[in-house]
Structure 1
Amino acid sequence: MGRPTDDFPDDGGATAAVLQALDLSADPTYPDLYQGPNLSGPRARVYGGQVLAQATVAAGRTVPADRLPHSLHGYFLRAGDPTIPIEFSVERLRDGRSFTARRVHALQEGRPILSMIASFQEHQSGLEYAEEMPADVPEPTQVRSALEELAGIDHPAARFWAQESAFDLRHVGRSLFLAPDPDSPLGRQMVWMRARAPLPDDQLLHRALLAYACDQVMLEPVLRRAGRAWVSANQSMASLDHAMWWHRDVRVDEWLLFVQSTPSAQGGRGLGAARVFDRAGTLVASMAQEGMIRLPADA
């Protein structure tokens, strides 16, 4: 089987579906209230990255176009029902000379499933430095894609990753799709990621899509350090909260490298952290997510 290339693979309309989900409709009666549809997935609840990205777009709809999100902090409060549309209620907390703050509640039948605060800033000059990307990382064309690894496996999760996902994931080293990784006791990992189709030139959209995509891998280092895989039996995982900082403009239809770690796990919770670099080695974002993780030994 040949090596992956830099060509965009056929995504079967997955990218268009994500873009449609992020094209929120405004409520004509209530200001700053938006609604978005849900995407299908391998689980019986709404994918958290979808809600996070939609909330980012909803907040951005109420902010001047020259101000982009630089940070968000959100809590996942309830599992979302994929059969019920989500309403996004935006609260205008502050409109300053340089910064704008918004709070967003994602609601289903009046009950919040996500609460998020995001901060936006106009472009400004100032102190500039950044951590460097690790050296000698294989290029994405030298790493096997999840599309290749899971092709032909008749399982809902495998079909999602190989056929329905809008993003191409390529783990540097072993993935955790089918088996644990015995060679990474500290849980560190690197993953290349890129949208499977070209995207519009809209920086708010690209930043929201980075929030969408990262939720797919943020808790993987916790599984890796625990010696588990996504298919390991009798485990339960759910995102609890998410923090994210965009440092520079980003394009998710160009290759991004997630450099990940897990600083701590305790109390049935595990923390995943990531630094995100573009292919040129520029640090474009940092993020952290804590999740509930219950393993058989915890029962």
Structure 2
Amino acid sequence: MHPPLKEQFAVEKLADGSFVSAVFPGNFGNIQSIAFGGSTLAVAVRAAYATAPPDFSLYSVLGHFHGPAHTNAKLYVKVHHTRDTRTFATRRVVVTQQQTRSNGSQMERQCLELMADFHVAEPSVLTYSARPTIAYKGPEQQPTLQDLVDKALAAGKIKSSPLDKTGAMYVGLGIHLDSRTCAEGMSGQNMLGLIGPQPTDQDALHVTERVSGDWSRLRVPLDDRQDKAAALAFMMDAGLTMTALTHNHLWFHDVGPSVTTDFALRLFVPEVDLNHWHLRERKTVAGGAGRTYSEARLWDEKGTLVASMTQQCILKPKKPSSGQPSSAKPSL
């Protein structure tokens, strides 16, 4: 049972000035006891924000995941003050966790390190933002993932629901996020890659030109801007690792390890309020050398680009079993 989202990234300040997460990080469908990266990232953002001046807003989070956090221990966060000026504040944040080695001994594992930058909003010389690649209908006109599954079952495209075994992550995230998968995007047509070779109207495009869209909002509203920033980090991390798979008609069972190594979250407005619907569009940009690089952009209901996240991820071939070749497919 996941605690409320606000508790997922809440932190408590310790006597030495560091922070500890209020609860254990959630896994959100991971079949192992490994925490969802967005949970760890959200805790780090929340701790960094707790040290920033009250009139400063988060605008940049750049970092690396150094190892998985587990779901059986709290996260410890050390925030270093790197810069404090009239208009900028920079924090270096290190997240660690006490973990148990295979021999039973304890170790302190560094899970995440990032740089968080804050800025005082200033007058703008130019105001503009990019638009989504394709036209998407509004959230109320888009299906839920379960709607897509039911439609595929009724049409005989699948014999059983793929969510029963391999879609647990989306069921878990759905506890906190009301999400709609855009039917116009590739993930809305191949069900996030869950149904493999299902044709889409983007198959003729190069893989780097294919896009997927989804609308999301929080199920339980948040008031504090620090909590809203943490919720944004939580949401933007979800699904970006698998974009390269979805846009190549693959799923996690088709490949080996696929995990995020580094990321860049950027905010283009002082506050992103996920209490309201936001449209996210995802695309993969490059793949090779055992890695993929993908991007997600986020717009509010007025069509203003409010945030983006890029991630580089490890993607390894599936290990052959019983002498059979890997089922992973090459990029198109």
What TM-score comes out, normalization by structure 1 length?
Answer: 0.86
Distance 1:147 1:69 in 2: 34
- The alpha-carbon deviation at position 190 of structure 1 amounts to 2.9
| 1:89 aligns with one of 57, 78, 92 | 78
Q: Does 1:73 align with 2:89?
A: no
User: Highest relative contact order (Cα 8 Å, sep 6+), 1 or 2?
Assistant: 1
Q: Does 1:168 align with 2:157?
A: no
Distance 1:95 1:150 in 2: 50
Q: Does 1:283 align with 2:272?
A: no
Equivalent pairs counted in the alignment come to 284
Partner of 2:155: none
- The alpha-carbon deviation at position 164 of structure 1 amounts to 5.5
- The alpha-carbon deviation at position 119 of structure 1 amounts to 0.1
The 5 A counterparts of 1:226-245 are 226-230=248-252, 232-245=253-266
- The alpha-carbon deviation at position 191 of structure 1 amounts to 2.3
- The alpha-carbon deviation at position 113 of structure 1 amounts to 0.4
- The alpha-carbon deviation at position 278 of structure 1 amounts to 0.9
- The alpha-carbon deviation at position 253 of structure 1 amounts to 2.1
| 1:121 aligns with one of 119, 122, 141 | 119
- The alpha-carbon deviation at position 276 of structure 1 amounts to 0.9
The 5 A counterparts of 1:253-272 are 253-272=275-294
Cα deviations by residue, 1:183-226 (Å, 9 ceiling, x for unpaired): 33425223223234241222222222111011112123211233
Distance 1:172 1:164 in 2: 17
Cα deviations by residue, 1:131-186 (Å, 9 ceiling, x for unpaired): 23445311112221124446895735534523653113322232315213543342
| Structure 2 unaligned spans of 5+ | 99-107, 151-159, 184-188, 319-325
Partner of 1:3: none
Distance 1:164 1:270 in 2: 23
Distance 2:272 2:213 in 1: 16
Distance 2:121 2:294 in 1: 29
Distance 1:195 1:20 in 2: 17
What TM-score comes out, normalization by structure 2 length?
Answer: 0.78
Instruction: Give the match's secondary structure for 1:235.
Output: coil
Instruction: Give the match's secondary structure for 2:167.
Output: helix
Distance 1:293 1:160 in 2: 19
Q: Does 1:26 align with 2:42?
A: no
| Structure 1 unaligned spans of 5+ | 1-12
Do the aligned partners of 2:193 and 2:246 also contact (CA within 8 Å) in 1?
no
Cα deviations by residue, 1:109-133 (Å, 9 ceiling, x for unpaired): 2321000100001121123221234
Distance 1:206 1:150 in 2: 31
Distance 1:150 1:65 in 2: 45
Q: Does 1:195 align with 2:195?
A: no
- Which amino acid is the alignment partner of residue 119 of structure 2? Q
Which is higher, the Rg of structure 1 or of structure 2? 2
Partner of 1:5: none
The 5 A counterparts of 1:104-183 are 104-109=93-98, 110-127=108-125, 128-134=127-133, 136-149=135-148, 153=161, 155=164, 157-162=166-171, 165=174, 166-173=176-183, 174=189, 175-176=191-192, 178-180=194-196, 182-183=199-200
Distance 1:70 1:226 in 2: 32
Distance 1:242 1:70 in 2: 14
Instruction: Give the match's secondary structure for 2:91.
Output: strand
Distance 2:248 2:135 in 1: 27
Distance 1:80 1:32 in 2: 18
Percent of residue pairs bearing the same amino acid type:
21
